[in-house]
Amino acid sequence: MDTRKTFTDHLYTALVEAGLSVFRDNDEIERGGNLKWELDKAIKCSQISIIVFSKDYASSEWCLDELVMILDCKDTSQHTAFPVFYDVEPSENMCVNDNILVIYGMGGIGKTTIAKIAYNLNFHRFDSSSFVANVKQHSEQFNGILELQNQVLSNILKGEKGRLYNVHEGSIKINQAICSKRVLVVLDDVDKLDQFDALLGTQVFYPGSKIIITTRREDLLRAHAAHTVHRVEILGCDESLELLSWHAFGQDHPVDGYVEQSERLVRHCNGLPLALQVLGSSLQGKSKDIWVDALSKLEEIPHTDIQKVLEISYDTLQDDNDKNLFLHIACFFIGEEKDDTVKILKKCNLHPTVGIDSLIGRCLLTVEQGNKLMMHQLIQEMGKEIVRKESPKELGRRSRLWCHKDSFCCLGFLKTLDLSHSQRLARTFNFSRLPNLEKLILKGCVGLLEVCESIGFLTGLELLDLEDCTSLKKLPRNMGLLNFLQELNISGCSNLVDLPVELGKMTSLSMLRANNLSLKPLTSATWEVKSWLTFFQPWVSKPERSLQNILVSLPNSLVDLSFRNCNLSDDSFPKSFGDLSSLRKLDLSNNPICSLPDFIRSLNRLACLDLDDCTRLQSIEEMIFRYPRGTINCGFHYSGYSSVLKGFKDANWITDVDKTKATTGHVFTLVL
């Protein structure tokens, strides 16, 4: 209509003056007549149609209907159609959004079947047609894309083609072929956008052409607005039962005696046509016992033919990150809230936000009501089967275990168990199934109330980490049986009110971390330890309590002892500390002591004494006389420097005095 009084009017006049019989709908159709009938009659009686494509052509329903009539007439007679593009590029009108149909869905859902039916019912209505099967599979082969281009070009030109030497040349020739005729092209199982571009050139199609693409990727043509998208959904229960029955029994319903087994199989297939077809055919004519046994087997091991088809979607994931993400979700997170899952998987050094979006785009995952992650049952089983095949017989060699029975089978070989930050863990389980455990980490289990006494069975345990288990009130008595325990961390266990007497029997303990605790007194009988090796991290007691009643006796094998920031005064230390004959390092930093404790005189092997930030310290005279060779780290304000070192500034046995930080009130070192 927008060219009727301009270009079309001039063209009409010129043709009439040339002696041609020209039909123009607004002039030749009588008022009140049946417009569609008269237009159809006029087109059929004509030998040539001239179609003027203008800017508003594709927006006119009347023009598009008229175009369909012309093309139908062209297919059934010697009618010729000439397109004229007036003030527009051909692609502006030729690439309308109903040229391309994208059919997507998970593997085995029936995409190819739908495309084949559409092709077989309609290919004869087009000038040329081509069905290109298994695009992904063929494109992975040597010169695969080039061979597919040869197929498309041969089909479109009906055998009239030259030899193609490269993919770029093929794209150009295909574009030249499809832009001049009405074609139907099906590209089956397209996986990448460059496959689509190579086989359909620049996507400039002749009016009325139809392009059908099947893919597992919803996002394949997301950047191309000019297409229609159709997602293939799973079959309903009734449709599934009917499809299964046709393949298993040759009729639209199960035979008598097989209804229950058929319904079980339908539930297992969950509406996936491929599974219904394959399993139904494999059980055709089989006895009921075989049906029952086959169903039991399917619960453990997927059918090979179905697995192969579904696994293609996994194999085409772009990297190991997405593959690991898929397996994690399939094995552990189906039905879980998406945001919670993302938080957990981020801790696994994965990239779940972009990865989950990729899995959704490939029809491997959905997010449903309540923001829950969901997956088709057979897709989930496919993922679990990939893990199972990592080691079919040795469960302990698999990367993931999701069945508690399988997990128990492997516990005997477990070396490290890390349940850190399991906030809902209230009581540990029976440890008797973990005879080879070497490290048990329960850090941050804030709800933990009790550690099972069966921990005594872990005779090879070397590390027990209970840091920040704030609800824990006591340790198990059987800890005394842990003869090989080297490191115990109970820091931050703010409700811990007692240590078991049996703790003293742990003869291999070399490191005890017990920060921020308030403990009941321990008697000297508690400390029977003979071989603590190198380090003791202090209890930080409350100001009103003294360590004298808490640590009466320490093993004389201690080499490194630290009481940093324990609010210790001069009389806080028991005399038994003088028995620490092996002690080489002592840390009394950040304590309000005024003078050195008497027991230090007995520490003949002491090489390093740390008094950093002991701001009340008044004198270290006796200490310096006592140790002719050693290191003292002191920290106090410069104003106190002279009084502490009074009488020693000119001592010729002081070999080095480092005062670089003394003026700022920080540490300086005396090397004796």
Summarize pLDDT for 173-229 with one digit per residue, the tens: 888 888 878 899 999 999 888 898 899 866 668 888 899 999 998 877 766 655 788
Distance from C-alpha of 1 to C-alpha of 54, rounded to nearest angstrom = 9
CB 185 within 8 A of CB 129: yes
Kind of pairing, strands 667-671 and 631-635?
antiparallel
**Mean pLDDT, residues 480-487:** 84
Predicted local confidence at residue 92, as pLDDT: 52
Residues facing residue 485 across a β-bridge: none
Residue 404's identity, in one-letter code, is H
What pLDDT shows up at residue 318? Answer: 84
Q: What is the largest CA-CA distance in the chain?
A: 132
* 538, pLDDT greater than 60: no
The Cα–Cα gap between 304 and 308 comes to 6
Higher confidence at residue 144 or residue 556? 144
Q: 251 forms bridges with which residues in the sheet?
A: none
pLDDT (0 to 100) of residue 519: 41
CA distances from 54 to 5, 175, 203, 452 (A): 13, 22, 19, 83
pLDDT of residue 451: 93
Quote the CA–CA distance of 587 and 565 in Å, as a whole number: 10
Comparing 300-309, 415-424, 483-492, 535-544, the range with the smallest average pLDDT is 535-544
DSSP state letter for 332: I
DSSP 161-184: -----SHHHHHHHHHHHHTTS-EE
State the average pLDDT over residues 491-497: 79
Residue 513 pLDDT:
73
365 vs 600, higher pLDDT: 365
Contacts of 539 (CB under 8 A, 6+ apart): 514, 515, 517, 519, 547, 550, 551, 566
Proportion of the chain above pLDDT 70, given as a percent: 75
Least confident of 128-132, 333-337, 557-561, 623-627: 623-627
Predicted local distance difference test score (pLDDT) of residue 201: 67
Which span out of 163-172, 454-463, 505-514, 563-572 was modeled with the highest average pLDDT?
A: 454-463
Highest-confidence segment of 76-85, 426-435, 578-587, 649-658:
426-435
The pLDDT value recorded for residue 529 is 39
Q: Using CA atoms, how far apart are residues 26 and 252, in angstroms rounded to an integer?
A: 55
Instruction: Identify which has the larger pLDDT, 335 or 622.
Output: 335
If you average pLDDT over residues 4-8, what whole number do you get? Answer: 69
Of 341-355, 462-476, 594-608, the poorest mean pLDDT is in 594-608
**pLDDT band at residue 517, thresholds of 50, 70 and 90?**
low
Out of 88-92, 276-280, 622-626, least confident range: 622-626
pLDDT of residue 133: 92
pLDDT tens column, 355-392: 999 899 888 999 998 899 999 989 999 999 999 999 88
Helix (H) or strand (E) holding 298: helix 288-298
Q: E strand or H helix at 48, and its extent? A: strand 48-53
Which pLDDT does position 269 carry in this prediction?
Answer: 92
Strands laid side by side in the 487-489 sheet: 416-418, 439-441, 463-465, 487-489, 511-513
Q: Per this entry, what is the length of the chain?
A: 672
Average confidence (pLDDT) over 391-396: 85
C-beta neighbour count of 292 within 10 angstroms: 13
Q: Which two tokens stand for residue 526?
A: 């508690």
441's tokens: 């980490």
Cα dihedral sign for 316, 320, 324, 326? negative
Tell me if residue 657 falls in helix, strand or coil.
strand
Alpha-carbon distance 642 to 650, whole Å?
12
What is the model's pLDDT at position 293? 93
Task: Dig out the tokens for 440 from the structure.
Answer: 């048990």
Q: How confident is the model at residue 46 (pLDDT cuts 50, 70, 90)?
A: confident
Mean pLDDT of 440-461: 93
State residue 636's pLDDT score: 42
Higher pLDDT, 592 or 507: 592
> What does the pLDDT read at residue 619?
67
Q: What are phi and psi of 108, to 5 degrees?
A: 80, 5
- Going by C-beta distance under 8 Å and a sequence separation of 6 or more, which residues neighbour residue 577? 554, 597, 599
> In the β-sheet with 210-215, what is the strand arrangement from edge to edge?
128-132, 183-187, 210-215, 100-104, 228-231
Mean pLDDT of 72-88: 75
Residue 425 sits at the vertex; the CA angle it makes with 521 and 407, to the nearest 5 degrees, is 120
Region 147-176: what's the mean pLDDT?
85
**pLDDT of 395 above 60:** yes
Which percentage of the chain shows pLDDT scores above 90?
30
Is the separation of the CB atoms in 541 and 563 below 8 Å?
A: no
- Tell me which H or E stretch contains 587: strand 585-587
* Window from 22-26, 127-131, 440-444, 589-593 with minimum mean pLDDT: 22-26
End-to-end CA distance of the chain: 106
pTM across the whole model: 0.56
Distances (CA, A) of 500 to 473, 478, 488, 494: 11, 9, 13, 16
Given CA atoms 186, 191, 192, 193 in this order, what sign does their dihedral have?
positive
Mean pLDDT computed over 421-447: 92
Q: Is the pLDDT of residue 547 over 50?
A: no
Span 83-99, average pLDDT: 63
pLDDT of 51 over the 60 cut: yes
For residues 25 and 23, what is the distance between their CA atoms, to the nearest angstrom? 6
pLDDT at 3: 61
For CA atoms 657, 658, 662, 668, give the dihedral sign.
negative
pLDDT on residue 603: 83
- Report the pLDDT averaged over residues 531-555: 40
Q: For the chain, give the mean pLDDT.
A: 78
The yes-or-no verdict on residue 570 having pLDDT over 80 is no
Give the C-alpha separation, 231 to 218, whole Å: 8
How many whole angstroms separate alpha carbon 489 and alpha carbon 537?
Answer: 9
Q: pLDDT at position 525, please?
A: 35
The stretch 558-579 carries a mean pLDDT of 70
Structure tokens at 658: 């480092």
Q: How confident is the model at residue 111 (pLDDT cuts 50, 70, 90)?
A: very high
